[in-house]
Amino acid sequence: MIKIQIDTKQSSKYIISKHIYGHFAEHLGRCIYDGIWVGPDSKIPNINGIRKDVVEALKNIKIPNLRWPGGCFADRYHWKDGIGPRNLRPKTVNAHWGNIVETNYFGTHEFMETCKLLDCEPYISGNVGSGTVKEMSEWIEYMTFDGESTMANLRRQNGRDKPWKIKYWGIGNENWMCGGNMTANYYTDLLLRYSAYCNDFSGNKLYKVACGPVGEVTIDWVLNWVETILKKTKNRLFFKPIIEGISLHYYTRAGAKPATQMSTRRWYQAMKSALYIETPILEIKNLMDNYDPIKRIGLIIDEWGTWWGVEKGINPAFLYQQNTLADALIAAIHLDIFNRHCDRVHMANIAQTVNVLQSMILTQGDQMLLTPTYHIFNMYKHHQDNKLLPLNIISNDFIHEKFKLPAINGSASIDKENNICLSLTNLNPEENYEIECDFLESRINKNEINATILTSESLNAHNSFESPENVRPENYPIDKFKISNNRLSFEIPSKSVLFITLTQLE
């Protein structure tokens, strides 16, 4: 028996930002072209060149933001290549991702149109690695200035009279590697300079995100990178903050085999890798609390997800992978961890939205399918902008060979209508668990319990274009639950994600 305690009378003061459920679309493989953009002349139903089916699917999961144009691509991207008549735009080489010719048909205007259709916030990564301060400053002016200037008039010439509103702005990406092989000191000095020229025009206010570390290396290196930024930006608030956020990247890896080759041992390895993200989050939070006790600076986990081997016959540089039940559980693990640390985690962006790495959607010509990970985001959207509830899980770990893992991972929240949302993941691929959830002083209405479960018999279960609904959520029957003395008892099956919504009695 696993015991869970939720005290709704002692709810956290922290809100689970909807931006934790953000997404990432890079010019990589078939993410943009074929995935989001098919062009206005395509036979595939589209809205000004943007795939209609993809837009509708992403709107359904309440996508809050979309990060673009990269990724590694961002620090080679020169925004003026992607404006003006598409037939006149220069063709460039995507040197990071297979030396494929980039047509630049999808640029600033197309991206902003995508965000408008999705009703989400744009999050743009600016070029620090191969760009200039002037180039980044002019891009911000082009997009957000409402007056008479060369850049604003160029925007009008290209068909957009009024400026856009841009909140989230990344100052570089992975500048310790593909963004320039920089040291922490060198990057931070550039950050101070670039930030000074990232201006707020015409009532627009930028939320500037510094390039942070990757969490899969040593903690000492991670903390050195973050502390260098915090030290050099502290006490420089003469007129406005240098930054509002620091990023963190983290990928779950368990060998180079494709996603569908998921043995039991590899499953445990993958779950352990996924859970490890909480270690750098905790260490970075402790460091940030020392320099920023009022929590003004957010932790922005703007790249996360699984990284498996590509599918057979696919260009390795395209990073196209299938998406299995394991991906679904890994997505749930991450979202629950982010929820629990929402006092500092303001945003997260899964990599990537379509056809790349741990994607929401796979496309093939005019066909589209929803992955198991998509279904997790659809289940978890009910946590968005809720107040965090402290969750205490009392459980023994389970052991497989050298792997020691917690049986259950989860998070809880309460919405504006006073409904409790509880998400739980059973990491054990072989054993069901009996759960006893104690709501302490709260009384639960058994007749108003709604539950959805995602699971399968096979570790390698996935959706294909031949069987697009092989893995999908199902209603978990109300008769599976028993209530006695404010305690809710139920069973959670092996290798499953369970999302429960409960109504409290007055």
Task: State the DSSP string of 447-493.
Answer: EEEEEEEE--S-TT-B--SSSTTSS--EEPPGGG-EEETTEEEEEE-
Domain 2-8+389-504, what fold? Immunoglobulin-like (2.60.40)
pLDDT in tens, 274-294: 999 999 999 999 999 999 999
The pLDDT value given to residue 160: 98
Q: CA 287 from chain center: how many Å?
A: 23
pLDDT band (50, 70, 90) for residue 237: low
pLDDT exceeds cutoff 80 at 440: no
* Active-site amino acid positions: 174, 303
Let me know: does 31 contact 355? Beta carbons within 8 Å.
yes
Let me know: does 238 contact 252? Beta carbons within 8 Å.
no
Secondary structure (3-state) at 323: coil
Let me know: does 168 contact 211? Beta carbons within 8 Å.
no
pLDDT exceeds cutoff 90 at 11: no
Let me know: does 372 contact 454? Beta carbons within 8 Å.
yes
- The sign of the CA dihedral 351, 356, 357, 359 is positive
Average pLDDT rounded to a whole number, residues 358-367: 98
pLDDT band (50, 70, 90) for residue 9: confident
Average pLDDT rounded to a whole number, residues 368-388: 98
Let me know: does 176 contact 69? Beta carbons within 8 Å.
no
Burial class (CB in 10 A: 0-12, 13-18, 19+), 321: buried
**CATH ID of 17-385, from 3.30.70.260, 3.30.1950.10, 3.30.1360.30, 3.20.20.80:** 3.20.20.80
pLDDT exceeds cutoff 70 at 506: no
- Tell me how far apart the alpha carbons of residues 238 and 229 are, in angstroms, rounded to a whole number: 17
Let me know: does 504 contact 418? Beta carbons within 8 Å.
yes
Let me know: does 457 contact 25? Beta carbons within 8 Å.
no
- Tell me how far apart the alpha carbons of residues 46 and 66 are, in angstroms, rounded to a whole number: 19
The pLDDT value given to residue 143: 98
Q: At what angle do helices 184-196 and 133-144 cross, to 10 degrees?
A: 40
pLDDT exceeds cutoff 80 at 505: no
> DSSP character for 119?
T
Closest CA to 400 of 254, 497, 272: 272
Let me know: does 258 contact 316? Beta carbons within 8 Å.
no
pLDDT band (50, 70, 90) for residue 238: low
Total length of the chain: 506
pLDDT band (50, 70, 90) for residue 439: confident
Give ranges for CATH 2.60.40.1180 in the chain. 2-8+389-504
Let me know: does 446 contact 483? Beta carbons within 8 Å.
yes
